[in-house]
Amino acid sequence: NAGVMQNPRHLVRRRGQEARLRCSPMKGHSHVYWYRQLPEEGLKFMVYLQKENIIDESGMPKERFSAEFPKEGPSILRIQQVVRGDSAAYFCASSPARTGDTGELFFGEGSRLTVL
């Protein structure tokens, strides 16, 4: 049973390009969470998705950032027109139910974005 898979593990982009980060949750998990870890900062919640629905995007910047979790395929965090401040590690986590119900949460290895 594979864990949460994130790719790419490392991504380098120039300012103004687009970054796409993918997350495949654990088998049987339909809840996906994205977190961002800025250098020397703690993890911050970005967005919570269930299959085909965004449940809570209160932590995600209103511009340039979007997330989806389609019926088929991985969840994708998309950052348009990247800026240097977007350089961070982006972690995905999945759970079989909303974390408030079970507390179970499994993290991926993270995707490290560097914007030149």
Nearer to other proteins, 68 or 107 (CB): 107
| Window 43 to 82, contacts with other proteins (CB under 8 A) | 43-45, 48, 56, 58-59
**Touching other proteins, residues 26-45 (CB under 8 A):** 33, 35, 41-45
Q: Of 39 and 71, which CB lies nearer to other proteins in the complex structure? A: 39
Pick the closer one to other proteins by CB: 17 or 107. Answer: 107
Three-state secondary structure readout of the chain: CCCCEEECCEEEECCCCCEEEEEECCCCCCEEEEEEECCCCCEEEEEEEECCEEEECCCCCCCCEEEECCCCCCEEEEECCCCHHHCEEEEEEEECCCHHHHCCCEECCCEEEEEC
By the criterion CB under 8 A, which residues form the site for other proteins? 33, 35, 41-45, 48, 56, 58-59, 91, 93, 99-100, 103-110, 112
